A and B are shown apart, each in its own frame.
Chain A
Amino acid sequence: MIHSIELRHLLPIVFKGMEDSERIRTSQIWEVPSFVFAKGCRICIHAESGCGKSSLLSFIYGNRSDYSGKILFNGKDTKKFRVQQWCDVRTKSIALLPQEMRLFPELTVMQNIRLKNDITGHKSEEEILELLERMGIKDKKEEAAGRLSIGQQQRAALVRAVCQPFDFIFLDEPVSHLDEKNNRIAAKIIEEEADMQSAGIVSTSVGNNLLLHGSKYIML
């Protein structure tokens, strides 16, 4: 279980040499001596395009390591994690909804969701169908993911993201293609799932925020 994620002097390699720029100096995350995501937190990270939101989530998720500084899970440096440790993190501790969703377009919505749920065994078939129904895409469950609209894909990817136990869920612009009604439904589902596990929710946005209660807004 991960209680805390601490960022120490974290900076993408591409921002090297720009430490004194306005953007880095005003950032509440980049180059900060210590920034901590605590379990149970509700944080919404605001940033303009190109500020490194997706990079930040990739660094935390172990997908990229082109950064300086340190990322510590429960005080342990993640750069020293081995393959199996990362796979455990990704199936037991940290859920991620990437901005590009990463659905397999040739597989159906259900097949996509099962690919995740099969390794975690977290949800029953009925629970998955109920989530799809609440998201309003139950009738698309046998449709190839590539044939859905972006908004529908976003909702399918969101259901997939919660098909695992987690201490933190990171959502990269989760509602960028959702209307307000669906935004509220998505926010409610994520909150319910997080509350059940006392997990933290970290979302990013360039404008269209996930409508969560009591979120702390910070600037990247």
Chain B
Amino acid sequence: MNSRFHSDKNIWSLLKRNVSKGQLMGYVLSNALGLTVVLTGMMFYLDSSHSSDKNDSFFSKDYVVVSKKVNGVGFSPVSFGKDEIDRLEQQPWVKRTGRFTSSRFAVNGAVDIGGRGLSTYMFFESVPDDFFDIKPRDWKFDPAERFVPIILCKDYMALYNFGFAAPQGLPQISEELACAIPIKLRVSGNNMMSETFDAAIVGFSSRLNTIAVPQDFMDWANERYAPGAETNPSRLIVEIDRLAAADMSKYLDKENMEIGGDMSGDGNISKFLSTASAVVTANGIIICALAIFILVLSIFLLLQKSRQKLHHLMLLGYTPAEVGAYYERLVVTANTIVTLAATTATLLLRQTWETPLKEIGLGEASVIPMLACSMLYLLAVTAVNIRIIRHHMTLIWNNG
């Protein structure tokens, strides 16, 4: 054992003379850089396509709300006729449409904040449940329970907290707190006594610019308080195909329609982020490929330079596997350093975008795919390197 140790030292002191530190450093640096770019691009892609705030992902990014433009002052409500909806549904960029149903009854909501009662007239809208990506736990209505869950537009919360509460001497409240406040609804319809319901906010959406209730409540209540008064929808939610959406705005202009809120923008940002990270990743892959090319070239050069030494060692009785092991150890070490450095750099770089992405409701994706990718890289590149080394050792054994 002891003598093996000596021979290890002797052989390595012989072989390392041909190892170019510059080449090796060049490989490690360029490959660490390339791999960092790949992993960073990948992590960024994962983060930017992963929604961190569950309340915010009621609508997927590929939904838009379409309404008709209101011109001047109009007393007859602008709404979509059946033929207009049919035509819209035939557009190539439309996957499916859902109708907003408005309440056809009067609603009064009352809350008790900090000992002060507050009541207001309200309105509700609903869209079919399958236009929601997820549903809050209580997103259902049962006439026997007389409880109505509500999803509120985030902007309304902001309006209350920053515009209304302070000057009125009312407390500002958080979303969590708002969800805990019991609401009393008084609903009255044509020729009916008003009825009361318990209600509560169960979620917030920054994309759905309305006060939303479950479709089954809306259908039940419209039928009960305003029977037979079927009206056309004034807003449509449209699932769109981004790839075919190039002439979407042209069509909407022509039809005197418009897209509500910032929904199209959200889609664009997401699309932009995905494209940006794809470009970054592609660049990283190119850098990595070049770096791997450098390493393979360096190995060839190194083994070529050491060819005679290696052959002489084999003539002394060392097996090709024994002498090759020194180079295998070298590439395993180099590749491990590269992978560790790139993974660490990626995790550090991630901190720079974590907060901004979180602010727009993205991020907090799992790091496991990224780690798996870097491990896969380590194993694959090392396997290729070792194969090249072993192949070369066999050539040297055979040809001297």
Q: Which A residues are closer than 8 A to B by beta carbons?
A: 61, 63-64, 83-84, 87, 90-91, 96, 98, 102, 104, 106-107, 111, 114-121, 164
Contact = CB atoms under 8 A, between A and B. Distances in A.
Given A63-B400, A104-B309, A115 B316 contact: yes
B313 interface: yes
Nearest to B314: A87
Contact of A115 (B10, B319, B320): B10
A119 B317 CA distance: 8
Contacts of A119: 7, 316-318
B3 A106 contact: no
Contacts of B314: 87
Interface residues of B, number: 21
Contact of B3 (A63, A96, A107, A117): A117
A91 B317 contact: yes
Interface in B267-316: 309, 312-316
Contacts of B10: 107, 111, 114-115, 118
Contact of B317 (A90, A102, A106, A111): A90
**A-B residue pairs, 5 tightest by C-beta:** A118-B7, A91-B317, A90-B317, A118-B3, A102-B312
B15 to A, nearest CB: 10
Contacts of A104: 14, 309, 312
A64 B7 CA distance: 26
Nearest to A103: B312
Interface of B: 3-4, 6-7, 10-11, 13-14, 17, 309, 312-320, 397, 400
B17 A90 contact: no
Centre residue among A96, A106, A119 by max chain B CB count within 10 A: A119
A84 B319 contact: yes
A26 to B, nearest CB: 30
A61 B317 CA distance: 11
Centre residue among A63, A117, A118 by max chain B CB count within 10 A: A118
Contacts of B17: 106
A83 B397 contact: yes
8 contacts: A83-B319, A84-B319, A90-B316, A107-B14, A114-B7, A115-B313, A115-B316, A117-B3
Given A114-B6, A118-B7, A102 B315 contact: yes
A107 B11 CA distance: 10
Contacts of B13: 107, 111
Contacts of A102: 312, 315
A106 B306 CA distance: 13
B400 A64 contact: yes
B322 to A, nearest CB: 8
A118 B309 contact: no
A195 to B, nearest CB: 23
A114 to B, nearest CB: 6
Nearest to B319: A87
A118 B6 CA distance: 7
A212 to B, nearest CB: 24
Contacts of A90: 315-317
A161 to B, nearest CB: 10
Nearest to B8: A118
A96 B400 CA distance: 16
Nearest to B17: A106
Nearest to A98: B315
Given A63-B315, A115-B313, A117-B3, A83 B320 contact: yes
A90 to B, nearest CB: 4
